[in-house]
Chains A and B, each alone.
Chain A
Amino acid sequence: EVQLSESGGGLVQPGGSLRLSCAASGFTFSNYAMSWVRQAPGKGLEWVSALRGGGGVINYADSVKGRFAISRDNSKNTLYLQMNTLRAEDTAVYYCAKVSVWSQRSFDYWGQGTLVTVSS
């Protein structure tokens, strides 16, 4: 059974940093691209970033480019999101999601999410 479990969320001041983790199990982690998707309170879904199975970055959303860094450790089956220079508008639930086969490019499994609150 595929399982994704995010951690690392919390309250941080504007301008601060936070590192999210996503522990994966139930599939061959290194074979699949992984992604972060966020959802601000009461708002819709927003794609943040994605990473290929081998570690190559696919891209970042313009809203986070230059401030966030995605990475993975395939030996630990873990995906990361380093978030720097955080702003109030980064407040959201952050989900990690597994990308299906590339021809489909769907997010076939999601974690439960971790809440990041940026506030003074």
Chain B
Amino acid sequence: QSVLTQPPSASGTPGYRVTISCSGSSSNIGSNPVNWYQQLPGTAPKLLIYSSNQRPSGVPDRFSGSQSGTSASLAISGLQSEDEADYYCAAWDDSLSGWVFGGGTKLTVL
């Protein structure tokens, strides 16, 4: 059971928009920035979004993040086949004094 809650799966059609939610509590998302990671099949995770809505250099602007209260979401617009991957949200937890992850969302591009 992960501390942060994500839907286990999501899907979308090429060119369309999909969103992935991440729910936490006051000790994590409610008081710290959320980060999102993309894990392509058979590879290491890669930082996708940091500080709730910032993209590292090289990440397309099709990817965007938002955060409000104890929830966050990742949006992917203009969906492409290469976006098929597992997506994880994560945040620092003040009560645990460590990082917590969501269980991951497997994105399928139909």
Contact = CB atoms under 8 A, between A and B. Distances in A.
The answer to whether A and B come from one shared complex is: yes
Interface of A: 35, 37, 44-47, 50, 58-62, 95, 100, 103-113
B33 A105 contact: yes
Given A45-B45, A106-B47, A113-B44, 20 more contacts: A44-B88, A45-B39, A45-B90, A45-B101, A45-B104, A46-B101, A47-B90, A47-B100, A59-B97, A103-B51, A104-B50, A105-B32, A105-B91, A105-B92, A106-B35, A106-B90, A107-B47, A108-B47, A110-B45, A110-B46
B50 A95 contact: no
B56 interface: yes
Contacts of B47: 100, 106-110
B16 interface: no
A111 B35 contact: no
- Give the interface SS of chain A, mostly helix, strand, loop or mixed: strand
Contacts of A110: 44-47
Contact of A59 (B2, B44, B98): B98
28 contacts: A44-B2, A44-B88, A44-B102, A44-B104, A45-B37, A45-B90, A45-B104, A47-B100, A50-B98, A50-B99, A62-B96, A95-B44, A104-B35, A104-B50, A105-B32, A105-B33, A105-B35, A105-B92, A106-B33, A106-B47, A106-B90, A107-B90, A108-B47, A108-B50, A109-B47, A110-B44, A110-B45, A111-B44
